[in-house]
Amino acid sequence: MGIFYFFSKSTKPKSSLAEDLSKTRHSFWTKLSKIVAGKSTVDSAILDKLEELLIGSDVGVATTCKIIDAIEQRVAKDKYLTTGELDQILQSETQQLLHATSSSHQEVMGSVSFLQPHIILVVGVNGVGKTTTIGKLAAQFINQGKKVLLGAADTFRAAAVEQLTIWGNRVGAEVVAGAMQSDPSAVAYEAVQQGVRNRTDVIIIDTAGRLHTKIHLINELAKIKRTIQKCLPGAPQEVLLVLDGTNGQNAFLQAEAFTTAVEVTGIVVTKLDGTAKGGMVLGIADQFAIPIKYIGVGEKVEDLRPFNARSFIASLFEKW
């Protein structure tokens, strides 16, 4: 499947978020229905199984405990909670967890200033869809009438530079790239300089896919950020961490490492259409208190969707 697929015109209507999250939604409801089968009220046995279900959906232990504690408090308060009410309570509690770190798409777009370039530094390990996410973001900004420049600071992988260049040519964005094995900070610096000279609205800088276990590589990200700040104080305005929704608990380890290295302002979770464990979105947002800005639910440009906590939860809880 080539890059041109992303821009192919389809006669099919855009799928609903519930359809895009069908694997997680179907898996969750199938297992939840088995938990409450034959039961009329919520008891300790149901809560124990619900806890196992949430952890098994990659919600994470800490976040799962918050949800279970809230339900137990509700049971203690009302003295009686039917199994029919359980999904409503779950929906309410999970939405509250996400609401605390949620930011609207309008807020994200509104932060783009025309007085100086809005710089987005994109980080993440190889294979999570980082470069593709950058291409989709660029396409969406350009569709809004913004001038976009891409900085190919992943100088350690020829395919990354080539892929980003193809995206830039296809969507109409300038691309600044250096020689292979060159200093990534130098590429980032040149991208910012060129963006300022050309009155670019948005500069999106790709970075090498750092293994979160390689501390010296992680620390290099901090150097790139410092270089950008020397060129343009106050930048980058956004540091987006891209996580693969199919990576499960490994995504938590990646988030921990990257948030230690750089001040991550937002998270993009990709490939959520390909996993039955989309609960990791809840755990990541809750445990790291960082907004989920976008989610990826398919191959096309429009399948990189602005994250809306209410819509996300409603889609997960939409029954078959």
Tens-digit pLDDT string for the chain (320 aa): 344 344 444 444 567 888 888 998 888 888 888 888 888 888 888 999 999 999 999 999 999 999 999 888 888 887 777 877 888 888 888 888 887 666 544 444 445 554 579 999 999 988 899 999 999 999 999 999 999 999 999 887 778 889 999 999 999 999 999 888 788 999 999 999 999 999 999 999 999 876 655 666 667 788 899 999 998 998 999 999 999 999 888 899 899 888 888 899 999 999 999 988 888 999 999 999 999 999 999 989 999 999 988 888 888 887 65
Task: Give the chain's domains with CATH numbers.
Answer: 17-99 (1.20.120.140), 111-307 (3.40.50.300)
pLDDT of residue 213: 57
- Is residue 212 within 8 Å of 259, Cβ to Cβ? no
pLDDT of residue 110: 46
Orientation angle between helical segments 61-78 and 280-288, nearest 10 degrees: 90
- Is residue 152 within 8 Å of 121, Cβ to Cβ? no
pLDDT of residue 6: 43
pTM of full prediction above 0.95: no
Sign, CA dihedral 47-49-55-61, equals positive
Residue 267's φ and ψ, nearest 5 degrees, are -125, 140
Question: Edge to edge, what strands does the sheet with 266-270 contain?
Answer: 174-177, 148-153, 202-207, 118-123, 238-244, 266-270, 292-296, 304-306
pLDDT of residue 3: 40
